[in-house]
A and B are shown apart, each in its own frame.
Chain A
Amino acid sequence: DQQVKQNSPSLSVQEGRISILNCDYTNSMFDYFLWYKKYPAEGPTFLISISSIKDKNEDGRFTVFLNKSAKHLSLHIVPSQPGDSAVYFCAASGGLGMSHNAGKSTFGDGTTLTVKP
């Protein structure tokens, strides 16, 4: 049972437009969500996070929205730039309520974003 799902394996957008990457989760114990960006042959790098007590977090061109009732989060990138082309992973983690998984993040399969000049 995959607890974090990114249903779109790829997304292509034009430079300057908005990129929207989606992520769904099933475990209601998750209380912290993160987005990572990964270039080929490199490890992922942290991009932005959101706690379950919030529904929006913004950092420059990147905004993450959380809809707890729908167990859905999304990453908005605006305006998109060619350098944003990468694989984006959504991750979720639980707190002490998930004793076995405390501090451990569960990753989605990733969405490959291509921003065309």
Chain B
Amino acid sequence: GAVVSQHPSWVICKSGTSVKIECRSLDFQATTMFWYRQFPKQSLMLMATSNEGSKATYEQGVEKDKFLINHASLTLSTLTVTSAHPEDSSFYICSARGTDNSPLHFGNGTRLTVT
């Protein structure tokens, strides 16, 4: 089946630094990738929709200058958390799909801890 690789699986960084998370579709071309944030015991909160070759569409309340998304190819999207603060500590998950309405394929998530 389709595989989405997310890296790193966990990262600890100091407050004020930036962290880059990669999301790769390994065996299919992902025209659209999504980035989510999940708080404990809550659902996946969609942060932004990333389309290859165009600017990401951010959900209301998500700071686009803080969460930089780049989708430079059909197999790679990156999320950069800039000037990280402890409140950015969370579980970040990406997903990818090939065509509209095809099931989403999720990465295994990245646990970010900002100290």
Interface residues of A (CB under 8 A from B): 9, 32, 34, 36, 41-46, 49, 89, 91, 93, 95, 102-110
> Which residues of B87-114 have CB atoms within 8 Å of chain A's CB atoms?
91, 93-95, 97, 100-101, 103-109, 111
A36-B104, A43-B6, A43-B93 given; name 6 further pairs at CB < 8 Å: A9-B41, A41-B108, A43-B107, A95-B100, A107-B43, A110-B43
CB neighbours of B103 from chain A (8 A): 34, 46, 49
Complex Cα distance, B104 from A96, in Å, reads: 17
CB neighbours of A49 from chain B (8 A): 103
The size of the chain B interface, using a CB distance under 8 A, is 25
Interface residues of B (CB under 8 A from A): 4, 6, 32, 34, 41-44, 46, 49, 91, 93-95, 97, 100-101, 103-109, 111
Q: Given that A42-B109, A104-B34 are known contacts, is A89 also in contact with B97, CB under 8 Å in the complex?
A: no
Complex Cα distance, B46 from A34, in Å, reads: 16
10 A–B contacts from the bound complex (CB under 8 Å) = A36-B106, A42-B109, A43-B107, A44-B44, A45-B106, A95-B100, A102-B100, A104-B34, A104-B46, A110-B42
Complex Cα distance, B94 from A91, in Å, reads: 15
Complex Cα distance, B108 from A107, in Å, reads: 17
Q: Given that A95-B100, A104-B49 are known contacts, is A46 also in contact with B105, CB under 8 Å in the complex?
A: yes
Complex Cα distance, B93 from A110, in Å, reads: 16
Complex Cα distance, B52 from A64, in Å, reads: 33
- Contact indicator A32/B44 (Cβ below 8 Å): no
CB neighbours of A110 from chain B (8 A): 42-43
CB neighbours of B44 from chain A (8 A): 44, 89, 107
Of the residues B6, B43, B100, B109, contact of A89 by C-beta under 8 Å: B43
